[in-house]
Each structure stands twice: as structure tokens, then as C-alpha cells.
């Protein structure tokens, strides 16, 4: 994608996402209408749906030849990343949105012919925008984020992960995850995959790993983390197919190999 096209697309996407965030803050003054999706841990509100409808409408009006992959049903059914594809999660961290009224984000990644061009993660209540354009670095609001430190040892790392790793799971033996948790300095759980990617990019956590995420959870984060020299793979260290569900390990290069080789592959099921 040409730099000038990328720049104008970025400005437009940013404007819509900030506007969508302002709408969410306003809609939150009214009681939330909550529905259960697949199970009581999997929720959606009319604000999630309205936000996605708003963004999808803007994209379809101004960029009719672009495609959209999104969580709440306003997207297209795509099996290819050809052309320009937006991957949007209107509210990432819906449980936080409902229970905490904060710690959720709008996440939007824009890809062209499969290459990540623009990533935007907007912490709506913190009014904090993490962003990146391919090859131009990553930003937290107007502040450029430095490259990730290469020197961090796993023993001095803070790892974002949730307790699901300690419940028997199809990916890895629980004993190996206990060992990993004993090895790192500390673990944290934030409940929004997009924000957890952003925190890796910011360097306030050294890594984030999770059992399964969808394309709209990771599309923006991969681009932003990549711009500060971080890596995103599945937890086995393999390439992530953006069109599919994947396990995710995102971190600096130094701890990536340690986690994959000494913990995940050692305990692989
Ligand atoms: P969501 O809020 O958009 O659903 C919660 O730990 C994180 O995992 C959130 O980013 C959440 O996104 C994501 N997630 C992905 N699939 C999920 C599922 N089936 N149930 C709950 N959270 C899910
Ligand atoms: Ca959801
Ligand atoms: Ca999500
Ligand atoms: Ca969501």
C-alpha cells in the first residue's frame, strides 16, 4: 500500500474510532441491554452491536470496495485476505465493559493483500489510543513507543495470562504452566486481549499468552507490537493465520523462545 493511501486511511479510521468511543461513553449512561451468546461467560450488549453497526456503515459508505471481518455480525464472510480488509472488534473486553465500566477497547486492524498496514486500539474510558502504521513505529497517543528491551530475562518478566491455563486444556499440561508461573516475576490478567497486546507494545508487560483468540481480537495488536520489535505466534511458535482462531503468544524476542521451548513444547499434549 502506498504511504499516502495508508496515511489518509489511518486519519479516517482514527477519526471514526474516536467518534465510536465517544458514542460508547454516551450510551453507557443508559442501562445496558445484555444478551448471552454461547454461554454465560460469553456476553454481548446492544452497545457492542451499535458500535459495530456504526463503524461498518462508515466503511461501507466511504470504501465500498473494502472488506470487513468483525465479531458481532455486520462483517463479510471472507476466506481470503486479498484487497483491503478491516478487522474490527467493536468492544474488546465486553465482560469488563459490563462489570467494570472500564478496561475495554475498540480494536481495528487494516490489512492490504494480507499485510498489516494500520493498527488502532482505543482504550475508551482511559481515552488512550495505541496506534501504528506499517514501518512508521507505534504510538501511545502522540508519544512514540520505544523498541522493546531485548535484555529482559523470563525470570524478571511480567506475563499477562489468565487462569484458564491452570484448568486442564487441550493445548498444554497444567503442570508446565504452574512451572511457568513460578518462573516469571509476576502474572497479570486484564480481560481485554487488545489492551494486553497494547501493554506488550508499551513494555509494561513483557508478554501475553492466551489459549484461543479470533481474528478481530489480534489484528490491530499484531501490527502495533510488530512496530516495536515484538513477535506474535501461536503458543507453539508457529505462524498465525489471521483468518482463523489461534492460540497466541506475543512478547519480546528474548522470552519468546524460552516460553515456547521450555514450557509449551515440553508440556505439549
Ligand atoms: P471480547 O470481550 O471481545 O469477547 C477475555 O479474556 C478476552 O478474550 C477478551 O479480549 C475477549 O474478547 C476474548 N475472547 C475471545 N473469545 C472469547 C470467548 N469465547 N469468551 C470470552 N472472551 C473471549
Ligand atoms: Ca465477545
Ligand atoms: Ca475480542
Ligand atoms: Ca468483542
Q: What is the mean pLDDT of residues 227-248?
A: 98
Total length of the chain: 269
Instruction: Quote ipTM for the complex.
Output: 0.97
Residue 91 alpha carbon, nearest atom of ligand 1: 3
Q: Percent of the chain, pLDDT > 70?
A: 100
Whole-number Å distance, alpha carbon 258 to ligand 2 midpoint, is 31
**CA distances (Å), 153 to each of 104, 157, 208, 265, in order?**
29, 6, 15, 19
- Residue 94 CB–ligand 1 contact under 6 Å: yes
Q: Give Cα 87 to chain centroid, integer Å.
A: 10
- What architecture is the 3-144 domain classified under in CATH? 2-Layer Sandwich (3.30)
Mean pLDDT rounded to a whole number for the chain: 97
For range 115-134, the mean pLDDT: 98
Q: List the domain boundaries for the chain.
A: 3-144, 154-264
What CA–CA distance (Å, rounded) separates 111 from 233? 17
Q: Is 189 in the pocket of ligand 1 (CB under 6 A)?
A: no
Bridge partners (DSSP) listed for residue 35 = 44
The listed CATH number (3.40.190.80, 3.40.91.10, 3.90.550.10, 3.40.50.300) that belongs to domain 154-264: 3.40.190.80
Measure 44 CA to ligand 2 centroid, in angstroms. Answer: 6
Q: For ligand 1, say whether the CB of 230 is within 6 Å of any of its atoms.
A: no
Residue 240 has pLDDT above 80, yes or no: yes
How many angstroms separate the alpha carbon of residue 47 from the centre of ligand 4? 10
Query: What is the predicted pLDDT for the residue at 227?
Result: 98
Other Cβ atoms within 10 Å of 169 Cβ, number: 15
Amino acid at each position: 500500500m502506498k504511504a499516502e493511501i495508508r496515511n489518509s486511511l489511518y486519519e479516517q479510521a482514527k477519526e471514526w474510532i474516536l467518534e465510536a468511543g465517544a458514542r460508547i461513553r454516551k450510551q453507557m449512561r443508559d442501562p445496558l441491554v445484555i444478551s448471552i451468546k454461547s454461554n454465560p461467560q460469553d456476553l454481548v450488549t446492544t452497545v457492542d452491536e451499535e458500535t459495530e453497526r456504526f463503524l461498518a456503515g462508515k466503511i461501507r459508505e466511504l470504501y465500498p470496495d473494502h472488506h470487513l471481518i468483525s465479531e458481532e455480525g455486520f462483517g463479510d464472510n471472507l476466506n481470503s485476505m486479498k484487497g483491503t480488509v478491516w478487522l474490527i472488534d467493536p468492544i474488546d473486553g465486553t465482560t469488563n465493559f459490563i462489570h467494570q465500566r472500564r478496561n475495554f477497547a475498540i480494536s481495528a486492524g487494516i490489512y492490504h493483500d494480507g499485510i498489516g498496514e494500520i493498527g488502532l486500539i482505543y482504550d475508551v474510558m482511559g481515552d488512550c489510543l495505541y496506534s501504528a502504521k506499517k514501518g512508521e513505529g507505534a504510538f501511545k497517543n502522540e508519544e512514540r513507543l520505544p523498541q522493546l528491551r531485548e535484555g529482559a530475562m523470563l525470570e524478571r518478566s511480567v506475563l499477562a495470562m489468565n487462569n484458564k491455563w491452570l484448568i486442564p486444556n487441550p493445548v498444554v499440561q497444567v503442570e508446565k504452566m504452574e512451572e511457568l508461573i513460578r518462573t516469571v516475576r509476576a502474572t497479570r490478567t486484564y480481560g481485554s486481549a487488545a489492551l494486553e497486546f497494547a501493554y506488550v507494545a508499551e513494555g509494561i508487560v513483557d508478554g501475553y499468552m492466551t489459549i484461543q483468540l479470533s481474528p478481530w481480537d489480534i489484528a490491530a495488536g499484531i501490527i502495533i507490537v510488530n512496530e516495536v520489535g515484538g513477535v506474535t505466534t501461536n503458543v507453539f511458535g508457529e505462524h498465525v493465520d489471521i483468518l482463523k482462531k489461534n492460540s497466541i503468544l506475543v512478547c519480546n524476542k528474548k522470552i519468546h523462545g524460552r516460553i515456547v521451548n521450555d514450557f509449551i513444547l515440553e508440556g505439549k499434549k
